């Protein structure tokens, strides 16, 4: 999956790219895990909490006693590749912005 973000890595120095790569690999979401969570515990909204969608997770949790969350979790399992891709894209952008903001090697930064 890191291949999709090579354009971001080209804008970083070696240390920044190393940090990005490590953090991305630790925090990215894999669709196979999401599909398993959606099918096994989806009626409780666990897969939504795993994707850091608290609003969706609580909605599933509030209505867990009905059959609707179970049906929607099956739909989410079918769409998990896209849901994980959206999460991973947001993660990559956030990591890139955070690393560039914290980097002591920013261009145009005056030495003090």
pLDDT tens string 32-70? 999 999 999 999 999 999 999 999 999 999 999 898 999
DSSP state of 66: S
Where are the alpha helices (H) located in the chain, listed in sequence order?
A: 6-9, 14-27, 31-41, 46-50, 54-62, 68-78, 80-102
CB 45 within 8 Å of CB 66:
no
Report residue 110's pLDDT band, with 50, 70 and 90 as the boundaries. very low
Q: Confirm if 37 and 72 have CB atoms less than 8 A apart.
A: no
User: Which pTM does this prediction carry?
Assistant: 0.83
pLDDT in tens, 71-109: 999 999 999 999 999 999 999 999 999 988 887 766 545
Q: What is the Cα–Cα distance from 102 to 66, expressed in whole angstroms?
A: 47
- C-alpha distances (whole Å) from 10 to each of 13, 50, 73 are 8, 30, 38
Percent of the chain with pLDDT over 90: 67
Q: Write down the pLDDT at residue 106.
A: 60
């Amino acid at each position: 999956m890191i291949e999709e973000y090579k354009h971001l890595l080209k804008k970083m120095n070696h240390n920044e790219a190393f940090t990005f790569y490590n953090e991305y690999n630790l925090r990215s979401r894999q669709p196979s895990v999401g599909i398993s969570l959606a099918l096994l515990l989806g009626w409780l909204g666990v897969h939504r909490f795993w994707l850091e969608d608290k609003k969706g997770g609580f909605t599933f949790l509030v209505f867990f006693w009905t059959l609707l969350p179970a049906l929607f979790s099956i739909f989410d399992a079918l769409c998990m590749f896209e849901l994980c891709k959206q999460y991973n894209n947001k993660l990559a952008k956030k990591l890139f912005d955070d690393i560039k903001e914290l980097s002591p090697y920013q261009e145009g930064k005056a030495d003090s």
